[in-house]
Amino acid sequence: MSHHAPEKSATVDAAYRTLIGHTVACATCRAGDACPTEARLDRKWKAARR
């Protein structure tokens, strides 16, 4: 039984893809270093999942 609204799922999916798209393209993330952009996108994704 799911209470997920399609609109929210789309938001979560978009946020996740933005995060993954960043981590594969960003030199800082690829080097495994702390990246403020990655941290911001990760927070946004986790906030969207709530």
Report if residue 38 touches Zn ion, rule: CB under 5 A. yes
Residue from 29, 42, 44, 48 in contact with Zn ion (CB under 5 A): 29
Stretch of 9-17, 18-26, 39-47 contacting Zn ion, by CB under 5 A = 18-26
Whole-number Å distance between alpha carbons of 26 and 42: 14
Q: Tell me how far apart the alpha carbons of residues 6 and 38 are, in angstroms, rounded to a whole number.
A: 25
Tell me if 28 contacts Zn ion by CB under 5 A.
Answer: yes
Q: Are 44 and 20 a contacting pair, CB within 8 Å?
A: no
Residue closer to Zn ion, measured from CB, 11 or 28? 28
